Amino acid sequence: MALDMLLSRNAGVLAVIAATGLTLTSIPAAAHAEHVAVSRRAADPGAEAAGGPAADRLADRTGREVAGAGAPALPTGVSARAWTVTDVRTGDVLAARNAHQRLAPASTLKTLFAVTVLPKFRAGAVHKVTPQDLTGIGPGSSLVGIQEGRSYRVADLWRGVFLRSGNDAVRVLAAMNGGWSATAREMQARARQLGARDTSVKSPDGYDSPGQVSSAYDLSVFGRAGLANADFARYCATTTARFPSRGSPSFEIQNTNRMLSGASGMRRYPGIVGVKNGYTSNAGNTLIAAAERGGRTLLVTVLNPQSGASNAVYQEAASLLDWGFRAAGKARPVGSLQAAAAPGGRAAPSADGARSGAGHRSATGRPVAAEVSREPGRWSETALWAVAGGFAVALAVGAVFGWRMYVRGRRTSGDGS
């Protein structure tokens, strides 16, 4: 009887050990699953925006403005249908409204075109324009004045894209890149690679086309990715440049971004970096603008202001940048672009007759993947596996001990006890 009680007691202990060991063994699996999920979100940051698990808080489409705790009051009078304020270095979104609402982007989509195509051709490479290169330009398009039969350096073509928003320059560069449709497909793939899930590319120049949309979130991703490229950063900061002409050596072109040029009733925004403005009848006024102050670079995207005021897109962008610089370091981010930036470096000085602002550092983005094992108050995955391993060993020892007790009990019972 005493032996039966001992065996029963040991069985209970062994059951507790087994249950504890199995439970704790599952903990690192759960931690691993969480780590994998976070890593997947970092590798494919648009998944949350697309409505995946733990949906992005920026996906709100109710028109509500969101800003992190501790932030100063958001500026009043911002009438844009959608906007974001982002820290370029970290990718943190400080505030937003309708960040994932899909809207026509107009020429701000040229940022994605540049991110996709600009790295492929040397600035000094020369291309002779054919009639086929300029086929299909939409009526009413903004043009820089590309002429058939004339040869242009790639740098001239990019200044035509960034300063004059020339759809003719985009057509020529797209032709060099394999054609209009191929470039659109490549831009679509690049958008997905960057985690931009709201964008559908139909016309690489941003011209209104059925089904062509993007979002404040995606355009911010493209602007941030572009600023990580020194050539992009230089072109988008250029205020005026000389452009080749058949009738004369060259003529001057000016950037249509009024925050950069200080034209048409706007003052040049202090610390302005660029990036790209746009307008179509369907999209209204659109703008991606970046500025640097106190060693911090912020980027705002403003889509389709509804106030009807002159220069509204620029004024609203300026007020959001002002707010962002006040809020930086105080406000908890409401989300992240989670987009990988290219390796950093200082932008090359402007050349070839181009006049631009001071040189800008290319933006560098930190990896956004959360390191679960290093978050305050959490055990690392390694530690959890070590604990589980210890309990597994204890479980095995207990099982051996129990088996030995069981065998002893059987022998004793066989002896007539």
pLDDT digits over 333-345, tens only?
999 997 443 333 3
Task: Identify which of 369, 398, 373, 400 has the alpha carbon closest to the alpha carbon of residue 385.
Answer: 373
Of residues 393 and 371, the one with the higher pLDDT is 393
pLDDT digits over 1-45, tens only?
444 444 344 444 434 344 444 343 443 433 333 333 333 333 333
**Alpha carbons 17 and 187: distance in angstroms, whole number:** 57
Q: Which long-range contacts (CB under 8 A, 24 or more apart) does 143-151 make?
A: 143/167, 143/168, 144/168, 144/169, 144/243, 144/253, 145/243, 145/245, 146/171, 146/172, 147/245, 147/246, 150/244, 150/246, 151/126, 151/127
198: DSSP letter: S
pLDDT digits over 105-158, tens only?
999 999 999 999 999 999 999 999 999 999 999 999 999 999 999 999 999 999
pLDDT band at residue 382 under the 50/70/90 scheme: very low
Q: How many helices (DSSP H) and strands (DSSP E) are in the chain?
A: 11, 12
Q: Which helix (H) or strand (E) holds 273?
A: strand 272-280
- The span from the first CA to the last CA of the chain, in angstroms, equals 9
Mean pLDDT of the chain: 77
Active-site residue set: 107, 110, 165
Count CA atoms within 13 Å of residue 300 on its CB side: 30
pTM of the model: 0.72
Integer-rounded Cα radius of gyration of the chain: 30
**Alpha carbons 258 and 264: distance in angstroms, whole number:** 7
**Alpha carbons 153 and 127: distance in angstroms, whole number:** 6
pLDDT band at residue 404 under the 50/70/90 scheme: low
What's the token pair of residue 352? Answer: 């070839």
